[in-house]
A and B are shown apart, each in its own frame.
Chain A
Amino acid sequence: MIADAASGVALALRGEGDPYALSRVLRQSDALAPAAVRVLGADALAPYAADHHTPAAGDEDRGVVQAALAAFPPGADASAVSVWSYRGLVEASHAFLPGGPDRWPQPPDAASGWVEADPWPRLAHRASQLAALALPGLSPALADALTTRTDDLARGFVRAVRRRDWLQAAGLGRWLARLPGVPPTLGLDAGLAFIGHMGGGDARVALHLVAARCFYGRGE
């Protein structure tokens, strides 16, 4: 189901298929729809951030997201990734869904000490899990913090490609597409293309690659 939803989002970002509506990809009546939205995070709304012919989100989309936010709030012992992902979905709701700020919860505070403190392999893994936040305008403070460790994210990209962890590699490539100062010797565009050939069959991998191209023009 998550794979289907990810494919739907990717299709919309490519500007293909029917005009995107989250409420059609994930019907509110489906018991698992809120869980899928929570896992996709901000990416559930990514097509609304794209320039091309996505109609504005409607009330039904809002309902799906509200159900997800209500059903799966991060608990007291939730991981930093879970809190950040939730925060990304809230931020994207503010940005792309109808209704004033009062319709949506305030974005929760999310711990960011790990961005500075993590050894690079762990940092890279976490960042890749938060690749849905690599959308225009989303979580600028996190993006700024990650900018201080662009080299380490690039190292994580290299490590992930070499060990054929395509999902992590694609997520990191998507962040690197957003961040300034990526080392030129990384070969990011060729790397993204390579991941597409090797791991593009995974819908979530494909989604990250499409987002990197659609929003940041990388991996062409």
Chain B
Amino acid sequence: MSGPPSAAADTALLDSVATGALSWLGAYRDRFRLPADVTTDADPNLTLKPLGELAELARLIQELHPRADVREAAAELFAFAWEQFGRGALHAELMRNEPQAVYPVELYGVFARAGLRHPAADALLTTVTGLRRWRVAGGDHTRTLSVLNAERRIGVPLHADPGAVFALTGLGLRAEPWLLDLRAAYGLTHDVFHLTDWGRARHRMAAPFAAYLRLWLPCWLEGELERELWDLVGELLAVAACLPRPWYPADVWRRLAAAQRPDGGVPERSDPADGPYRDDPFLTCYHSTLVTAFAATLARVGTDTTPDDSTGPARATAPGRESEAAP
């Protein structure tokens, strides 16, 4: 367990952020639609990846959000994603086309976790995940954690020892916190998401890692706020909510809420001219908007389940002083 008790979550703000984000995602739903050439020429990073993110995060919101209207909106998005995947037929086709790739299995895991399966995909999985080549699935350790989580969800044997893999990730190593750049930051947030099954299993995070995150999250967040990288702010807020004792940094949440546009979209960065795809509101917003809805859901759940105790560790700074914006 780590850190002092955090400020009480502002549920009104969290709900407004989440409903705004879901309304944006609903309005842009057709942009997640897969093109006809999805298995051949289309860039998977602009087609399968957005849809996979939509499925992963909408499903979590559908499962966990305390408000029925939010759950319902998320459920519609998740069902849309399953339809787009041809109820699993597309997973099977991707596995046939690219038996070397892990992403079709990861994408299938999102739905398998929800009890949605496809017979052809299930049959292929046994073959694909039984290959010797599969024992090095993933490549880097963070990605391997993702594959292991997919295996767990689908119910095939784990191809590696999750503890040994985790130990070699940025979080497992508790890497020097001052070395965290953009790429390491995304790796770290995903170490947390895969380890905790996207916040569903916060207890899987052992105390030393929770303490490490609680100690350094304030200064990492401060840097991303300065850079106005809203998707990373959202991911780090989600990490804060994945801690065994969730941390709610009220000032950071207010800044993220202020960056949300009136239509509910959250831009990757405040100045869209900074990024690629600057002319496309969908591509500049979809990831941050999904992440924001996800983080707001986890933060909302965390406040419902956090025991109201203050038996934190000795290493603590008084609440309210840390993580305030620099002057």
Indicate yes or no for A touching B, C-beta below 8 A. yes
Residue B40 is within 8 A (CB to CB) of chain A in the complex: no
| Interface pair B215/A183, CB less than 8 Å apart | yes
| Interface pair B176/A152, CB less than 8 Å apart | no
Choice from B176, B180, B226, B322 contacting A186 with Cβ under 8 Å: B176
Q: How far is the CA of A183 from the CA of B325 in the complex (A)?
A: 22
Q: How far is the CA of A118 from the CA of B327 in the complex (A)?
A: 10
Q: How far is the CA of A157 from the CA of B176 in the complex (A)?
A: 11
Contacts of B323 in A (CB 8 A): 119-120
Q: Knowing A120-B321, A120-B323 are in contact, say whether A163-B177 is a contact too (CB < 8 A).
A: no
Q: Knowing A163-B226, A190-B176 are in contact, say whether A121-B216 is a contact too (CB < 8 A).
A: no
Q: Which of B141-149, B217-225, B254-262 sits within the interface?
A: B217-225
Contacts of A161 in B (CB 8 A): 178
The 0/1 profile, CB within 8 Å of A marked 1, for residues 91-104 of chain B is 00000000000000
Between A118, A119, A183, A186, the greatest number of chain B beta carbons within 10 A of the residue's beta carbon is seen for A119
Residue B212 is within 8 A (CB to CB) of chain A in the complex: yes
Q: Knowing A120-B322, A122-B326 are in contact, say whether A186-B317 is a contact too (CB < 8 A).
A: no
Q: How far is the CB of A46 from chain B (nearest CB, A)?
A: 26
Q: Knowing A158-B216, A159-B222, A185-B212 are in contact, say whether A117-B321 is a contact too (CB < 8 A).
A: yes
Q: How far is the CB of A208 from chain B (nearest CB, A)?
A: 16
Contacts of B324 in A (CB 8 A): 119-121
Interface residues in B194-231 (C-beta closer than 8 Å to A):
212, 215-216, 218-220, 222-223, 226
| Interface pair B327/A122, CB less than 8 Å apart | yes
Contacts of B316 in A (CB 8 A): 151
Q: How far is the CA of A159 from the CA of B180 in the complex (A)?
A: 10
| Size of B's binding interface in residues, CB under 8 A | 25
Contacts of B327 in A (CB 8 A): 119, 121-122
The 0/1 profile, CB within 8 Å of B marked 1, for residues 80-95 of chain A is 0000000000000000
Residue A196 is within 8 A (CB to CB) of chain B in the complex: no
Q: How far is the CB of B178 from chain A (nearest CB, A)?
A: 4
| Interface pair B317/A120, CB less than 8 Å apart | yes
Residue B278 is within 8 A (CB to CB) of chain A in the complex: no
Residue B67 is within 8 A (CB to CB) of chain A in the complex: no
| Interface pair B219/A159, CB less than 8 Å apart | yes
Q: Knowing A120-B218, A122-B327, A151-B215 are in contact, say whether A157-B178 is a contact too (CB < 8 A).
A: yes
Residue B132 is within 8 A (CB to CB) of chain A in the complex: no
Residue B174 is within 8 A (CB to CB) of chain A in the complex: yes
Q: How far is the CA of A163 from the CA of B321 in the complex (A)?
A: 21
Choice from B178, B215, B223, B317 contacting A194 with Cβ under 8 Å: B178
* Nearest A residue to B327, CB-CB: A122
| Interface pair B176/A121, CB less than 8 Å apart | no
Q: How far is the CB of A165 from chain B (nearest CB, A)?
A: 11
* Nearest A residue to B209, CB-CB: A185
Q: How far is the CB of A148 from chain B (nearest CB, A)?
A: 8
Q: How far is the CA of A183 from the CA of B220 in the complex (A)?
A: 16
The 0/1 profile, CB within 8 Å of B marked 1, for residues 182-194 of chain A is 0101110011001
Choice from B174, B178, B226 contacting A158 with Cβ under 8 Å: B178
Contacts of B220 in A (CB 8 A): 158, 162
Contacts of B176 in A (CB 8 A): 185-187, 190-191
Interface residues in B132-190 (C-beta closer than 8 Å to A):
174, 176-178, 180-181
| Interface pair B177/A149, CB less than 8 Å apart | no
Q: Knowing A121-B324, A155-B219, A155-B322 are in contact, say whether A185-B177 is a contact too (CB < 8 A).
A: yes
Between B181, B219, B322, the greatest number of chain A beta carbons within 10 A of the residue's beta carbon is seen for B219
* Nearest B residue to A154, CB-CB: B215
Contacts of B215 in A (CB 8 A): 151, 154-155, 183, 185
Interface residues in A150-177 (C-beta closer than 8 Å to B):
151-152, 154-159, 161-163, 169
Interface residues in B72-119 (C-beta closer than 8 Å to A):
none
Contacts of A156 in B (CB 8 A): 219
Q: How far is the CA of A116 from the CA of B177 in the complex (A)?
A: 24
* Nearest B residue to A121, CB-CB: B326
* Nearest A residue to B224, CB-CB: A162
* Nearest A residue to B173, CB-CB: A185
Contacts of B223 in A (CB 8 A): 159, 162-163
* Nearest A residue to B323, CB-CB: A120
Q: How far is the CA of A186 from the CA of B174 in the complex (A)?
A: 9
| Interface pair B317/A162, CB less than 8 Å apart | no
| Interface pair B178/A152, CB less than 8 Å apart | no
Contacts from A to B (Cβ < 8 Å): 117-123, 125, 149, 151-152, 154-159, 161-163, 169, 181, 183, 185-187, 190-191, 194
- 16 more contacts with CB within 8 A, not counting A118-B321, A119-B326, A162-B181, are A119-B324, A120-B317, A120-B321, A121-B325, A122-B326, A149-B317, A151-B317, A158-B178, A162-B178, A162-B223, A169-B178, A181-B315, A183-B315, A185-B176, A185-B212, A187-B177
